[in-house]
Structure 1
Amino acid sequence: MAVINTLWIIFQVLIGYNLVLPIVLYLFYSLKRKPQVLLSSPAEADYAIIVTAYEWVTAIPDVVASLLKLNYSNYLIYVVADKCDISTLHFEDERVVILRPEETLAGNVRSHFYAINRFKRQHDRLTIIDSDNLVEPEYLNELNKMFNQGFEAVQGVREAKNLDTTYACLDAARDIYYHFYDGKILFQVGSSATLAGSGMAFTTQLYRESLENRDVSGAGFDKVLQAAILSRNKRIAFTGKAIVWDEKTTHSDQLVKQRARWINTWFKYFGYGFTLLLKSVKNFSLNQFIFGLILLRPPLFIFLILALFCMFINIFISWAAVAVWMLGFLLFVLGFYTALAKSDTDKRVWQSLINIPKFIYFQILSLLKARKANQYSVATRGSQSTTDNI
C-alpha cells in the first residue's frame, strides 16, 4: 500500500508542477535584471529567406510581396514549391528564386536543404517563413540585434493575421500564452525560447550542423532542431519585435487535423527532454535543465485534464490534496491571465475565452486521431505551421 501511495504522489507531482511552473518562471523573470539589447547593427548580414509550400501556392505572391518590402537590402528569397503548379508564379525581382523539386519532398527539412544546396551565394544566416505568413518591414533588422549579441539562433513572434472566428481567436490566445512563457520568459531567465516552426532564424552553419545528416519526416522538425541546438548547450534567443503574421485556424475540422499532427509530434519527440535533463546535470547547465522540463510537459489540454482527474480522485482520499490542486489551478489561471494581460491582446481574443471548453473538446478529438495524423494532415490548407507547442 505504501508503494502505491508513493507512486500516486509522484504521479501527481509530475502532473501538478506544470500548473505552477509558468507563474514560478514569471516570478524569477520579475526579479531578474533585464539585459540591454543592442540598438544598432554594425553591418547587414546576408540572409537567405526560405519559404516552403506544399501542393498549393495561392498565398505565395502575398508572402513574397511582404518580404520584398523589408527595410533591408542584403537578402535573397528562396521559394521551394514542393509538388506545386508554379505556372502562376512570376516575379520580376531578381531577389526571388523559385525552386520546383523534380520529385516530391513532403518534408520541411528536405525543402530547406533543397534550397540550401541551391543557394546563389553563401548566406551568413537563414530564416524560415511559412507559405501563409507576412512579415513586418523591420523583421531582419530586429533579428540582427540578437545575432549581434552572439546568438546563433533566434525566434521571433508569430502574431495572428486573422481573428475572424472563435477558433482563430482561441488559437491566437494559445500562441500568446506560449510566446510569453516559452519565448520571452524562458529566454530571460537564462534558458532558450522554443522554436515555433516559422519566424525563426539561424546562422547557416548552425542549421546545417543540426539537421544536415538527419532525414526528419512528417511534422515536428522544429522539435528535432531545437533539441540539436540545446544538446550543444547553445541558447535560442527570443525577440518580440521580429514579427511574422501567421494564419490562424478558422474551422473545427482544420483544428482537429492540425492539433492531431502536433500531438503526434509531442509523443514522438518528448523523450528529448530526458536527454537534455541528463546533459544539464553533466554540464551544470540551467539552459538545458529548464528546457528539458519544458520538452517533457504534455500538451496544455492533456495536463489540464490529468490535473482535473487527480483532483477528482483526491475527493475520495484527501480534502487537503483537493485544496492543493485547487490552488494549483488558481495559479495556472493567474499565469494564463498574466500572459494575456502583459501582451497586446485583442479584445476579441479575451471575448473568445468563454469558448475554451469547446476548444478543449476538439483537442480531445485530435488526440484520438493523433496516431494517424501524418497520413492526412500534411497539406492542411492555410495552416502549415509545425509549432512545437500545443
Structure 2
Amino acid sequence: MIIHYLWLILQFFIGYNLVLPILLYVVYLLVPSAKESRRVSKDYDYGIIVTAYQQVDLLPAVVQSLLSLNYQHYTIYVVADNCDVSGLSFDDDRVVVLRPEQVLASNTRSHLYAIAHFIREHELITIIDSDNLTDPEYLNEMNVLFELGYEAVQGVRKAKSYDTAIAAMDAARDYYYHFFDGELLFKLGSSATLAGSGMAFKTSLYLDCFKNYDLEGAGFDKVLQAKIVGMNKRIAFAPQAIVYDEKTANSTQLVHQRSRWINTWFKYFGLGLSVLIKGFKTLSWNQILFGTILVRPPLFIFILLSVICFAANILMGSYMAITWFVALLLFVTGFYIGLRHGKADQKIFRSLLNIPAFMYLQVCSLLKIRNANKRSVATVHVIPSLKGEAKS
C-alpha cells in the first residue's frame, strides 16, 4: 500500500509539469490585458556589455548592429576575454574594447570588469552575447518597461536562421519558453525567466546581486534571476525588444551546450527551491509562481520521465495510463500554442518530426554533465553547411 501511494506521489510530481502550462494559459486568457503606457519621458543611459570568450569572428557584425540602434545614449563595452584582439578595430567613440589582463572565464566577471571600466556612470546595463544582432528599436522597447518602474527586463531572443533541423528544433524550444516562461508569467503577476542575453538591468541592481558573489562556469542568469525574485522584485518581459541569436547547428555543438545547461539546473536547483519556500513564507505570488517554474526539470527530462510513466501504467494495465495520455496531449497542445503565438515559421513546425533524434541528443548531454564545466564556457559557433547539418 505504501509503495502504491509513493508511486502515485512520484507520478504527480512528474506529471504536473505537463499540465501546468495549459492551466496557466487558461488563466492567462481570463486575465484582462492591462493597457500600460508606452510613453517614455527620458532617454536612459545604457552601458551595452558584449562578452566574448576566445572567439572574436562575429564581433564586428555584433558591434555594427549595436551602432545601428535607433538610440543615442549608450556606450558599447566589448570584453574580449582570452581573445586575440589584434584584428579588432572600431572607428567609433561609442565602442570600448576591453581585454582583461588575466583570463576571467566567467560571464559575471566579464560584466563586472566592464562596469569597473565604464567611461561614465550608466544608469542601465544591457547584456548582449558575442553572436547576437539587435533590432534597431531594442533599447527603446526596453525603456518602456523601465519607465514603468521595473529594474530588470528580459527581451526576446529570436533565431538568426534555422537552416538545419537541429537549429529549427532549438528555435522551437525558444518559442515555447518565451511564451510560457516569459510573456505568460509576467502577465500573471510573476517574473519572466532570464535567457542569458537580450536583457537589461539597473546597474545598481546588478551590482547588488554580484558584487560579493564570484560565480564560475555557466548559469549566471539562473543565479541572477533567483537573487532578483528573492528580493521580491519582478523581472519584466519586453516582447518587442528583440535580439537575434545564433542557434546550435550540429549535434556535437548541441550536446556540449546542453550538457552545460543541464549541469547548471542540477547545480542551482536549490536556488529555485529557496525562492519557492520564501514565497510561501511571505505569501508572495511572484515568488511562488516563479519558484515553481525554477524547480521544474529541463524540458526533455520531464517529457522522458512522463513517457516512461505512461508506458509503465500501460504495462501494469492501470487506468492511470489514460490520465498520462491526456496529460501528454495537453502538453503537446501547450507547445503548439507557444509556437502559434510566436508565429513560428512552417520550417520550425516541420522540424518537430525530428523530436526523437533531438531527445536522444539531450540524453547524450545528460550523460556528459559531470564534465560539462570542464569544457569551454562559451558555445563554439560554426558555419552551417548547405546540405543538412553544419560541419565543425
TM-score scaled by length of structure 2: 0.96
Alignment of 1:1-390 (within 5 A): 2-382=1-381
* C-alpha distance in structure 2 between counterparts of 1:160 and 1:356, whole Å: 18
Give SS of 2:140's match: helix
Q: Please give the alpha-carbon distance, in whole angstroms, between the structure 1 residues aligned to 2:186 and 2:273.
A: 20
Cα separation, 2, equivalents of 1:179 and 1:305 = 22
Q: CA deviation at 1:38?
A: 2.1
Q: Which runs of 5+ in 1 are unaligned?
A: 384-390
Displacement, 1:351?
A: 1.0
Q: What secondary structure, in the 3-state scheme, does the structure 1 residue paired with 2:201 have?
A: strand
Distance 2:180 2:15 in 1: 17
Matches of 2:114 and 2:177, distance apart in 1: 30
2:388: which partner in 1? none
Distance 2:270 2:15 in 1: 19
Ranges of 4+ aligned residues in structure 1 off by more than 4 Å:
none
* TM superposition shift of 1:316: 4.1
Q: Which ranges in structure 2 are unaligned for 5 or more consecutive residues?
A: 383-392
1:37: Cα distance to partner? 2.8
CA distance in 2, matches of 1:110, 1:57: 18
Rounded to whole Å, the distance in 2 between the matches of 1:211 and 1:114 is 12
Q: What amino acid sits opposite 1:103 in the alignment?
A: Q
**Deviation of residue 291 (structure 1)?**
0.7
Which moved further from structure 2: 89-98 or 3-12? Answer: 3-12
Q: Secondary structure at the match of 1:301?
A: helix
- Separation in structure 2 between the aligned mates of residue 297 and residue 377 of structure 1, nearest angstrom: 26
For the residue of structure 2 that corresponds to 1:323, the secondary structure is: helix
Aligned to 1:49, the other structure's residue is in SS state strand
Report how far residue 318 of structure 1 moved: 5.0
**Percent of residue pairs identical:** 58
1: distance between equivalents of 2:143 and 2:67?
18
Aligned residue identity for 1:152: E
How does the TM-score come out when normalised to structure 1? 0.96
Q: Which amino acid aligns with 1:123?
A: H
1:387: which partner in 2?
Answer: none
Quote the Cα distance in structure 2 between the aligned partners of 1:121 and 1:41: 23
- Between stretches 147-156 and 3-12, larger displacement belongs to 3-12
Indicate the SS of the match to 2:145. helix
The SS at the match of 1:76 is strand
Question: Deviation per CA, 1:337-389, whole angstroms, max 9, x where unpaired?
Answer: 11111112111111111011100000000000011011123243129xxxxxx
Larger deviation, residues 315-324 vs 180-189: 315-324
**Secondary structure in structure 1 of the residue aligned to 2:117:** coil
What secondary structure sits across from 1:218 in the alignment?
A: coil
Supply the distance in 1 between the matched residues of 2:64 and 2:298 (Cα, whole angstroms): 35
Amino acid in structure 1 at the alignment position of 2:93: E
Q: What CA distance in whole angstroms lies between the structure 1 residues aligned with 2:312 and 2:45? A: 58
Q: 1:8 deviation in Å?
A: 1.0
Asked whether the 8 Å contact 1:258–1:377 carries over to 2, the reply is: no
- Deviations along 1:200-239, whole A, 9 cap, x unmatched? 0000011000111111110000000000001100000001
**1:100-153 Cα distance to aligned partner (Å, 9 max, x none):** 000000000000000011111110100000000000000000000011111000
Amino acid at match of 2:359: I
Question: For residue 145 of structure 2, what is the amino acid of its counterpart?
Answer: M
Shift of 1:35: 1.6
Give 3-state SS (helix, strand or coil) of 1:319's partner: coil
Report the more deviating stretch, 316-325 or 10-19: 316-325
* 1:37/1:146 contact within 8 Å kept: no
Can you list the C-alpha shifts for 1:242-277, whole angstroms capped at 9, x where unaligned? Answer: 000000010100000000010000000111121111
| Cα shift readout 1:86-106 (whole Å, capped 9, x = no counterpart) | 011111110100000000000
In the alignment, residue 357 of structure 2 is paired with which amino acid?
K
In the aligned structure 2, how far is the partner of 1:378 from the partner of 1:75?
Answer: 27
Cα displacement (A) at 1:319? 2.7
For 2:214, give the aligned amino acid: D
1:100 counterpart letter in structure 2: R
